[in-house]
């Protein structure tokens, strides 16, 4: 399990990827991955292509990221969720709250 982050050269895009299980144990790592990016209009791209499992606390963490982004007039895009993760996002109807790119 790990959280990786890539920031674009112009600081406009932050890609966060979660590898393996995305659950409460990643709470601190996940928060650390975005909390220092306070610039305005940043697009946070949450890459879930290598996430094998996600629980409801992970959904909560995504909502915290969304709050953070919106406080800086930015946005969150979830990209390439794996099939099992997408199912969880679907049950939670997260596509009504965020952009999800499959």
Q: Give the residues lining the site for other proteins (CB under 8 A).
A: 24, 55-57, 59-61, 63-64, 67, 90-94, 96-97
Nearer to other proteins (CB atom), residue 36 or residue 70: 70
Least distance (Å) from other proteins to the CB of residue 62? 9
Nearer to other proteins (CB atom), residue 41 or residue 56: 56
- For the chain, list the strands marked E by DSSP: 2-7, 13-22, 43-47, 51-54, 75-79, 99-101
DSSP secondary-structure letter at 36? T
């Amino acid at each position: 399990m790990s959280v990786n982050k890539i920031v674009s050269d112009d600081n406009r895009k932050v890609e966060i990827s979660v590898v393996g299980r995305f659950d409460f144990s990643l709470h601190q790592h996940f928060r650390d991955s975005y909390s220092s990016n306070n610039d305005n209009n940043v697009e946070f791209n949450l890459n879930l292509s290598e996430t094998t499992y996600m629980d409801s606390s992970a959904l909560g963490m995504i909502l915290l990221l969304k709050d953070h982004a919106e406080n800086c007039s930015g946005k969150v895009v979830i990209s390439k969720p794996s099939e099992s993760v997408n199912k969880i996002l679907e049950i939670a109807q997260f596509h009504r709250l965020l952009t999800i790119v499959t």
